[in-house]
């Protein structure tokens, strides 16, 4: 049985909830990623921030990304999976909730993220294609 911890990208870089969206965008650029976990000052996961969130929920609405914070875009309870959960369950969550990235938690702390790229490296081409199709379904 493969568990989430074996498939995830470990030690993700967090944007702090009080950092500006400009800072978050620069972090994304420097890390060459399209999403970052939002962590509080207590190092607990508060949400996920995507480059699309910055554009659609701030800039397109006339917001100022130099003053708007990452935490201001964190909505609801973040969707997560436990580090020792069977990868099939993680895939089901990603498909059911149509998310491309799934934070991995161990003892209430963020330890990694499972992304579509992680799945592609581990699964067969057919399984990867099915998973991506399910996640991208409208």
pTM of the model: 0.84
Say if residue 29 is exposed, middle or buried (CB neighbours under 10 Å; 0-12, 13-18, 19+): exposed
* Overall domain count for the chain: 1
Q: What is the CATH number of the domain that holds 18?
A: 3.10.580.10
Separation CA 64–CA 80 (nearest Å) = 29
pLDDT along the chain (138 residues), means of 10: 90 95 98 94 89 95 96 89 91 88 92 86 72 67
State which residues form the domain around 83. 4-136
């Amino acid at each position: 049985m493969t568990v989430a911890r074996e498939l995830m990208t470990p030690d993700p870089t967090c944007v702090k909830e009080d950092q500006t969206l400009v800072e978050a965008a620069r972090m994304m650029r420097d890390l060459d990623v399209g999403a970052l976990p939002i962590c509080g000052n207590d190092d607990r996961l508060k949400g996920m921030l995507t480059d699309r969130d910055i554009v659609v929920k701030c800039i397109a609405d006339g917001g100022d990304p130099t003053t708007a914070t990452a935490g201001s875009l964190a909505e609801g309870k973040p969707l997560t999976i436990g580090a020792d959960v069977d990868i099939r369950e993680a895939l089901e969550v990603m498909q059911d909730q149509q998310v491309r990235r799934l934070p991995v938690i161990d003892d209430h702390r963020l330890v990694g993220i499972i992304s579509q790229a992680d799945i592609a490296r581990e699964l067969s081409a057919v399984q990867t294609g099915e998973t991506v199709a399910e996640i991208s379904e409208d």
